[in-house]
């Protein structure tokens, strides 16, 4: 294997004729992607790749549009977590307007919207997309592996999942105007506060929502306890982790600074200001996928890649600022016995802890009268550039805009949560392929193991392929054994 | 002597001398779909959305003088089919992206599409390349949404006395221009307070930095569909309070 290549990313040139198996499309994820496997005559796995086959173009067509249109336009990247894009864009444009501090009402309405989204997205992912694998088994009957099958076998679990998501969607509707693709956040603030009767309606349900979120955490813990070898070992690989943490080091989905740890849990970077993210992160382009491969610049592409999302966040923060979720976080950390937990299936556990935290935070916010205030927007001294970072359900989301004096956007850079997890997802499926598929006759159930590993990251492949325009193109010349003998990079 | 009246979809509707079918309908609170008509300006009959059948002939309601005893067909499947087709052509000729348009909820074109149950553009999109004019400090021109109704042309010429806007070109090449040497709004004497800044039925003439200030649910056509807002559109008589 060439030293600058990941194992199983590219098949060796000397293994003879290879057979191609494709999982196309990968199901029960957001967006369109496929996995290709190359197998030799003895069914040994020689190459595994997760390809993202969508192509969007948001970074290009946002150019030349007025800046106040951006939060509404870019949220169309996604139908599952549009609030993340809506808020990340609004936060970036707050800086363009020179707003250093939102009004209390604006900040709290945005937070409520965001935590509502975390709740609904995590519920959707766990109950609708992943629970069929976890409850029935990865190789169980394919026709049953869906939310309808869960509803038949575990009606109360399915009911709670559906109602949890519904509640999160309702929070979004009341703060953004619509369940999907609303307009609540505007540059410099919000366009509405929460009506008191709407707040009372949400408060009437919140106790049940918190209770069901606790039950969801217990369910995942029972699954781990029932088969620790599987849950701790399935597709497990070590990597760095990255996330936003609050300025006090606590878990914060809406604001803070960047923190990265190495695979042993040692802090690599802390308190990193978001506007300098380009000094922290670089992106690599590979010919076989539309999705880029980000890495920590200081460590390079081979060693600098990292995980984002619930598994990273819950272990990266110092604490969770709500009591029930903090208790669960401590138990989760104890499960690692002093080490970082890297198991992809532990994403589900961390995700449900975050869902509980979101429910608790929503309750706290609903008791805050600022939510119904009338001061909605702020302004300041106009700037040319703004960066907004937020923790989307799937991980760290970065929006970066430049706006000219005529109010039109002149450039846009988006680094989307799923993109950060590109290399981790590829690593996970290669581990799974080696462990479960190598040398065996492939069946649908075995191939679903690959999809289970991808689903653990809750990827949104639609979001992750937003780029168009100047790609940092690089041509590499390799000899028959795959050894790099020359490289030509276009100056950009 | 009995008052003059037309029979609009079977209902007697009174009118006064020199009124058009549109004037009579709006005065009676009856909605006839339209885009280029505005009660404060001379009618020009260019959008054809107000096409009705008067005594069996297709005519523009905004330009056709009412005649005593005239039988007018307005809200019929045949006419609404034709209006829907006209709307579809207007949508594909420009770049009308309602999901991210700040005029969404306040746009007459969108409101009419809902009213007439337009479910798809039907025709191939033209995707014209129409750069924005953001040169003015207070107003943005997004030509992508222009439907050539000429309301801004008429308002600027007839009310503001400036003639900032005009249509140029012919046929499919016809487009809205700014009367300035450079063609830029900043180089005209246009002002946000002009009548022309208030009349665009779509989202071409936009006040800068105000987009999406009105929340969903409170925008003009969120509150009531366009067809029940006819009363607000009717021409006022001298001395009548708005």
Helix (H, G, I), strand (E, B) or coil at A277: helix
| Contact residues on chain B for A65, CB-CB shorter than 8 A | 132
Residue A472 in any domain: the answer is: no
Closest residue in B to A97 (Cα–Cα): B209
Closest residue in B to A62 (Cα–Cα): B100
- Answer whether residue B236 shows pLDDT above 60: no
User: A381: which strand partners?
Assistant: none
Smallest Cβ–Cβ distance between A191 and the set B131, B208, B215 belongs to B215
| Contact residues on chain A for B206, CB-CB shorter than 8 A | 66
Residue A458 in any domain: the answer is: no
Query: Are residues B103 and B68 part of one domain?
Result: no
The domain tally of chain B equals: 2
Query: Are residues B207 and B121 part of one domain?
Result: yes
Query: Are residues B184 and B65 part of one domain?
Result: no
Residue A181 in any domain: the answer is: yes
Residue A1 in any domain: the answer is: no
| Contact residues on chain B for A68, CB-CB shorter than 8 A | 102, 209-212
| Contact residues on chain B for A85, CB-CB shorter than 8 A | none
B106: distance to nearest CA of chain A, Å? 14
Residue B50 in any domain: the answer is: yes
Only one residue has tokens 């509980």, namely A356
Residue B102 in any domain: the answer is: yes
Residue B170 in any domain: the answer is: yes
Instruction: Specify the CATH number for the domain of residue A326.
Output: 1.10.645.10
Residue B106 in any domain: the answer is: yes
Answer yes or no: do B211 and A178 touch at CB < 8 A: no
User: B59: which strand partners?
Assistant: B52
pLDDT tens track for B42-61:
999 999 999 999 999 999 99
- The pTM of this model reads 0.90
More reliable by pLDDT, B242 or A424: A424
Domain that holds residue A223: 58-425
Closest residue in B to A179 (Cα–Cα): B216
Query: Are residues B192 and B100 part of one domain?
Result: yes
pLDDT class for B2, splitting at 50, 70, 90? low
Interface test with B, best of A85, A105, A177, A184 (most B CBs within 10 A): A177
Domain termination residue (choose one: B14, B45, B75)? B75
B89: distance to nearest CA of chain A, Å? 24
Query: Are residues B105 and B52 part of one domain?
Result: no
Domain that holds residue B175: 81-212
The domain tally of chain A equals: 1
Nearest to A134 by CA among A346, A308, A439: A346
Say what the pLDDT of residue B8 is: 97
Residue A375 in any domain: the answer is: yes
Query: Are residues B52 and B140 part of one domain?
Result: no
**Which residues of B lie closer than 8 Å to A, measured between beta carbons?**
99-102, 131-132, 134-135, 140, 206, 208-217
Residue B114 in any domain: the answer is: yes
Q: Find all residues with CB under 8 Å of B175, minimum gap 6, and list them.
A: B130, B143, B146, B148, B167, B168, B169
Residue A72 in any domain: the answer is: yes
Q: Are A469 and A59 in contact (CB under 8 A)?
A: yes
Q: How far apart are CA A404 and CA A400, in angstroms?
A: 14
Smallest Cβ–Cβ distance between B134 and the set A178, A186, A406 belongs to A406
Q: How far apart are CA B115 and CA A233, in angstroms?
A: 58
Query: Are residues B118 and B27 part of one domain?
Result: no
pLDDT tens track for B146-187:
999 999 999 999 999 999 999 999 998 999 999 999 999 999
Query: Are residues B140 and B68 part of one domain?
Result: no
Say what the pLDDT of residue B231 is: 56
Say what the pLDDT of residue A490 is: 34
Per-residue pLDDT of chain A (492 residues; tens, 9 = 90+): 444 568 888 888 777 788 888 887 777 666 677 888 898 888 888 999 988 766 667 888 899 999 999 999 999 887 778 999 999 999 999 999 999 999 999 999 999 999 999 999 999 999 998 999 999 999 888 888 888 999 999 999 999 999 999 999 999 999 999 999 999 999 999 999 999 999 999 999 999 999 999 999 999 999 999 999 999 999 999 999 999 999 999 999 999 999 999 999 999 999 999 999 999 999 998 888 878 899 999 999 999 999 999 999 999 999 999 999 999 999 999 999 999 999 999 999 999 999 999 999 999 999 999 999 999 999 999 999 999 999 999 999 999 999 999 999 999 998 888 889 999 999 999 999 999 988 888 888 888 899 899 899 987 765 554 443 333 333 344 444 555 544 433 333
Query: Are residues B206 and B91 part of one domain?
Result: yes
Instruction: Specify the CATH number for the domain of residue B31.
Output: 3.10.20.740
Number of A to B CB contacts under 8 A, please give it.
Answer: 55
Query: Are residues B190 and B70 part of one domain?
Result: no
| Contact residues on chain B for A69, CB-CB shorter than 8 A | 100-102, 211-212
Answer yes or no: do B100 and A76 touch at CB < 8 A: yes
| Contact residues on chain B for A379, CB-CB shorter than 8 A | none
Residue A99 in any domain: the answer is: yes
Q: What is the ipTM of this complex?
A: 0.91
Task: Give the pLDDT mean for B113-140.
Answer: 96
Strand B11-14 vs strand B165-168: parallel, antiparallel, or unpaired? unpaired
Smallest Cβ–Cβ distance between B99 and the set A76, A177, A407 belongs to A76
Residue B46 in any domain: the answer is: yes
């Amino acid at each position: 294997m060439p030293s600058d290549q990941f194992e199983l990313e590219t098949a060796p040139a000397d293994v003879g004729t290879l057979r191609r198996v494709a999982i196309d499309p990968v199901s029960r994820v957001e967006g369109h992607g496929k996995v290709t496997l190359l197998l030799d005559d003895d069914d040994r796995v020689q190459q595994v790749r997760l390809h993202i086959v969508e192509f969007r173009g948001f970074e290009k067509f946002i150019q030349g549009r007025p800046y106040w249109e951006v939060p509404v336009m870019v949220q169309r990247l996604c139908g599952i977590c549009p609030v993340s894009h809506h808020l990340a864009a609004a936060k970036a444009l707050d800086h363009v307007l020179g707003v250093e501090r939102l009004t209390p009402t604006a900040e709290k309405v945005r937070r409520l919207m965001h935590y509502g989204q975390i709740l609904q997205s995590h519920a959707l992912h766990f109950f609708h997309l992943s629970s069929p694998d976890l409850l029935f088994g990865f190789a169980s009957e394919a026709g049953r592996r869906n939310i309808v099958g869960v509803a038949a076998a575990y009606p109360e679990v399915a009911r709670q999942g559906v109602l949890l998501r519904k509640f999160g969607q309702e929070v979004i509707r009341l703060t953004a105007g619509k369940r999907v693709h609303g307009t609540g956040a505007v540059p410099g603030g919000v366009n509405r506060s929460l009506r008191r009767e709407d707040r009372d309606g949400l408060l009437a349900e919140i106790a049940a929502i918190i209770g069901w979120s606790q039950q969801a955490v217990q369910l995942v813990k029972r699954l781990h306890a029932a088969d620790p070898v599987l849950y701790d070992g399935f597709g497990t690989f070590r990597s760095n982790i990255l996330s936003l943490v609050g300025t006090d080091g606590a878990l914060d989905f809406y604001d803070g600074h960047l923190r990265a740890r190495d695979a042993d849990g040692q802090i690599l970077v802390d308190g990193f200001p978001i506007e300098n993210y380009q000094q922290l992160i670089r992106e690599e382009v590979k010919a076989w996928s539309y999705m880029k491969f980000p890495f920590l610049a200081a460590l390079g592409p081979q060693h600098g890649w990292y995980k984002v999302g619930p598994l990273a966040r819950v272990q990266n923060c110092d604490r969770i600022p709500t009591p029930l979720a903090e208790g669960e976080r401590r138990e989760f950390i104890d499960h690692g016995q002093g080490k970082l937990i890297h198991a992809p299936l532990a994403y589900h556990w961390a995700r449900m802890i975050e869902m509980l935290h979101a429910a608790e935070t929503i309750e706290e916010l609903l008791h805050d009268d600022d939510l119904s205030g009338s001061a909605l927007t702020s302004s300041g001294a106009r700037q040319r550039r703004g960066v907004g970072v937020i923790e989307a359900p799937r991980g760290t989301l970065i929006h970066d805009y430049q706006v000219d004096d005529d109010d039109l956007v002149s450039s846009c850079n988006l680094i989307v949560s799923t993109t950060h997890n590109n290399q981790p997802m590829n690593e996970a499926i290669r581990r799974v392929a080696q462990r479960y598929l190598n040398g065996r006759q492939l069946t649908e159930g075995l191939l679903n193991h690959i999809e289970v590993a991808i689903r653990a990251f809750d990827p949104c492949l639609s979001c992750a392929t937003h780029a168009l325009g100047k790609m940092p193109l690089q041509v590499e010349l390799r000899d028959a054994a795959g050894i790099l003998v020359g490289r030509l990079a276009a100056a950009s | 002597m009995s008052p003059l009246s037309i029979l609009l979809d079977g209902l007697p509707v009174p009118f006064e001398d020199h009124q058009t079918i549109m004037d009579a309908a709006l005065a009676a609170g009856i909605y006839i779909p339209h885009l280029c008509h505005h009660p404060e300006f001379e009618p020009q009959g260019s959008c054809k959305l107000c096409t009705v059948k008067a005594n069996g002939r297709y005519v523009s309601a905004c330009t056709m003088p009412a005649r005593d005893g005239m039988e007018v067909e307005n809200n019929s499947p045949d006419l609404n089919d034709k209006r829907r087709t006209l709307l579809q052509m207007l949508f594909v000729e420009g770049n009308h992206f309602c999901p991210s348009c700040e005029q969404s909820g306040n746009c007459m074109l969108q409101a009419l599409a809902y009213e007439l149950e337009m479910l798809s553009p039907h025709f191939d999109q033209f995707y014209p390349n129409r750069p924005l004019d953001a040169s003015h400090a207070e107003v943005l021109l997004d030509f992508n949404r222009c439907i050539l109704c000429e309301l801004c042309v008429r308002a600027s010429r007839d009310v503001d006395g400036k003639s900032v806007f005009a249509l140029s070109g012919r046929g499919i090449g016809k487009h809205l221009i700014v009367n300035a040497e450079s063609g830029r709004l900043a180089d005209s004497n246009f002002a946000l307070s002009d009548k022309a800044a208030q009349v665009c039925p779509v989202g071409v003439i936009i006040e800068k930095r105000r987009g999406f200030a009105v929340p969903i649910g409170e925008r003009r056509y969120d509150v009531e569909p366009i067809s029940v807002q006819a009363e607000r559109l009717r021409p006022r008589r001298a001395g009548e309070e708005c």
